Amino acid sequence: AYAKKLASALRSTLAPLARVDVFADPINVRVELALPLGLILNELLTNAFKYGLPRAGESPFPESRQRRDEPDVRVELRRIGDDLRIIVSDRGPGLSQDDIAQVESLGLTLVRALVRQLRGELKVSSDDGARFELTCLLAEGAKNEGERRSPHHPDAHATPPPSASHAPDDAR
């Protein structure tokens, strides 16, 4: 519900004529995860509405990009096992490979810092518009520091060492 409300509020303020579609699985998250995710989603949506649409007076998208049946901005929030995947994409001019590597705006610097805080992964691509894909751990049991760094880290699915609470009865 939050993603739909946020997208609607930003659209009405930044791009009232834009069409936005939000597809979200019903997901409950801890506050420690909800706050950075909300900031990330806000920044990515703001960028999509500001830079992913033609500006007033500019020529519209080339004919190949004018697909009236597709939204201007698309948001997906999906639970995949213990992971959360958020995708924000637009049909704008996109980013060149140099832009992707060198974008250092305050907003994207904040996004990258929050993704690191979540021990997640951010993929940026530009094929028929800009696309930002965030994947991070959602599972409650892996919130302790060091248990899993990223859902895509080589050690992410390693079994944690046994703890005292899991020791055999005669070892206590």
Question: How much is the mean pLDDT over the chain?
Answer: 77
pLDDT digits (tens, 9 = 90+) for 116-146: 999 999 999 887 889 999 999 986 544 433 4
Q: Is the model's pLDDT at 65 over the cut of 80?
A: no
Q: Which two tokens stand for residue 7?
A: 């997208």
Q: Is the model's pLDDT at 59 over the cut of 50?
A: no
Q: Which two tokens stand for residue 86?
A: 């958020």
Q: What percent of the chain has pLDDT over 70?
A: 66
Q: Round to whole Å and give the CA distance between 110 and 28.
A: 23
Residue 86 CB: number of other CB atoms within 10 A? 21
What is the pLDDT averaged over residues 69-98?
Answer: 89
The DSSP secondary structure of the chain, one letter per residue, reads -HHHHHHHHHHHHH-TT--EEEEE------HHHHHHHHHHHHHHHHHHHHHSSPPTTSPPPPGGG--TTS-SEEEEEEEETTEEEEEEEE-SS---HHHHHH---HHHHHHHHHHHHTT-EEEEEESSSEEEEEEEE--GGG-STTT-S-TTSTTTTPPPPP-GGGS-GGG-
pLDDT digits (tens, 9 = 90+) for 138-169: 865 444 334 444 444 444 444 443 433 333 33
pLDDT value at residue 159: 40
Q: Which two tokens stand for residue 47?
A: 């960028």
pLDDT value at residue 128: 81
Contact (CB, 8 A) for 85 and 135: yes
Q: Round to whole Å and give the CA distance between 104 and 163.
A: 43
